[in-house]
Structure 1
Amino acid sequence: MGVMTAVGWIGAFFLLAVIIRAKIKPIGNMLVPACLIGGVIGCVIINTVGLPWTTTADYSLISGQMYNFMFINLGITVAAKAEEKKRDKRSFSIRELRRKMGDSQLSGIFGMGSYWALAYAFQALIGFGILYLIGGIWDMDPVYGLTISFAFAQGPGQAVTFGSGMEAAGWTGAIQVGIMFSAIGFIVAFLLGVPFAKKGIKQGIACSKAEMSEELRVGFFPPEKQETYGKITTYGGNLDTMTFHLALTGLCWICGKVLCISLDKIQIGSGMTLGSTIFFFWGMVAAYIIRFLMGKLGLHKYLDRGTQTRITNACTDLMVMATFLAIDLQFLAKWLVPIAIISIATTWITWVTIRYFGARFGGRNDFERTLAEWGTATGTNATGLALTRIVDPNNDTTTAAELGPSNAVNLPASLYVMPAILAYSAGTMGLKLFLITMILVIVIYLVFMRVVGVWGKKTFDINKGEKYQDGKCYQRMGEPVDE
Structure 2
Amino acid sequence: MGSTFHGVIAFALLASMLLCGSLLRNRISLLRNSLVPASIIGGLLGFTLLSLGLIPGFEATDFTALTFHFFTLSFMSLCLTGNSKDTSLSGGSIVRGGLWLTLIWTISLGLQGVIGYAVIAAYDALTGASVSEWLGAIITHGFTQGPGQALTYGGIWEKDYGIENAAQVGLIYASLGFLVAFLVGVPMAKNFIRRGLNANKASNMGDDFKSGFYSDEQKPVSGHMISHPANLDSLAYHLGLLALAYVLTYIWLGAMQPVVADFQPGGINLSVLFSYNLFFCHGLAVCVLLRLTIDRLGLSHRVDDETFKRITGSSVDFMVVGTLMSIKFAVLYALLTPILLVTAAVTLATLIGCLFLARLSGTLGRERAITAFGCCCGSTGTGLLLLRMMDANFSTSVPKELAFFNLAIVITNFHILFVFAPLVPSLGGWTYLMIFGGNALLFLASVPLLMKRRPEAGQAPVNPIKEPC
- TM-score scaled by structure 2? 0.79
Code of the aligned partner of 1:215: D
Over aligned residues, Cα RMSD in angstroms?
4.0
Q: 1:368 to 1:286 in 2, by over 3 A?
A: closer
Q: How does 1:79-478 map to 2 (within 5 A)?
A: 79-81=82-84, 108-131=97-120, 134=123, 141-156=132-147, 158-159=149-150, 177-203=169-195, 205-207=197-199, 211-234=204-227, 236=229, 237=231, 240-258=236-254, 259-266=256-263, 273-276=272-275, 277-296=277-296, 301-330=301-330, 335-363=335-363, 365-393=364-392, 398-407=397-406, 409-425=408-424, 427=426, 432-453=430-451, 470=463
CA–CA distance in 1 between the matches of 2:200 and 2:408? Answer: 27
Q: CA deviation at 1:166?
A: 6.2
Q: Secondary structure at the match of 1:450?
A: helix
Code of the aligned partner of 1:183: S
CA–CA distance in 2 between the matches of 1:314 and 1:273? Answer: 29
Q: 1:201 to 1:59 in 2, by over 3 A?
A: closer
Q: 1:82 to 1:172 in 2, by over 3 A?
A: farther
Code of the aligned partner of 1:60: T
Q: CA deviation at 1:398?
A: 4.0
2:72 corresponds in structure 1 to 68
CA–CA distance in 1 between the matches of 2:64 and 2:393? Answer: 34
Code of the aligned partner of 1:196: M
Contact 1:63/1:156 (CA < 8 Å) preserved in 2?
no
Contact 1:361/1:454 (CA < 8 Å) preserved in 2?
no
More helix by share: 2
Q: CA deviation at 1:32?
A: 0.2
Code of the aligned partner of 2:190: K
Contact 1:124/1:148 (CA < 8 Å) preserved in 2?
yes
Contact 2:319/2:381 (CA < 8 Å) preserved in 1?
no
Aligned residues: 446
Q: 1:296 to 1:251 in 2, by over 3 A?
A: farther
Contact 1:47/1:330 (CA < 8 Å) preserved in 2?
no
Q: 1:173 to 1:230 in 2, by over 3 A?
A: farther
Q: CA deviation at 1:137?
A: 8.6
- Please point out which of 19, 26, 31 is paired with 1:22: 26
- CA deviation string 1:66-104 (max 9, x = no partner): 3334344444x13314589xxxxxxxxxxxxxxxx9976
Code of the aligned partner of 1:198: K
CA–CA distance in 2 between the matches of 1:367 and 1:201? Answer: 10
Q: CA deviation at 1:231?
A: 3.5
CA–CA distance in 2 between the matches of 1:284 and 1:42? Answer: 30
1:461 corresponds in structure 2 to none
- TM-score scaled by structure 1? 0.77
Contact 1:313/1:382 (CA < 8 Å) preserved in 2?
no
Q: 1:204 to 1:218 in 2, by over 3 A?
A: closer
Code of the aligned partner of 1:194: V
CA–CA distance in 1 between the matches of 2:318 and 2:91? Answer: 38
Contact 1:242/1:307 (CA < 8 Å) preserved in 2?
yes
Unmatched runs of 5 consecutive residues or more in structure 2: 454-460
CA–CA distance in 2 between the matches of 1:368 and 1:330? Answer: 34
CA–CA distance in 1 between the matches of 2:247 and 2:102? Answer: 29
CA–CA distance in 1 between the matches of 2:45 and 2:331? Answer: 19
Q: CA deviation at 1:245?
A: 3.1
- Please point out which of 35, 43, 64 is paired with 1:31: 35
Contact 1:69/1:315 (CA < 8 Å) preserved in 2?
yes
Q: CA deviation at 1:156?
A: 4.4
- Identity among equivalent positions (%) equals 24
Unmatched runs of 5 consecutive residues or more in structure 1: 85-100, 456-467, 478-483
CA–CA distance in 2 between the matches of 1:252 and 1:139? Answer: 51
Q: CA deviation at 1:325?
A: 1.8
Q: Secondary structure at the match of 2:226?
A: coil
Code of the aligned partner of 2:17: F
Contact 1:120/1:417 (CA < 8 Å) preserved in 2?
no
Code of the aligned partner of 2:215: P
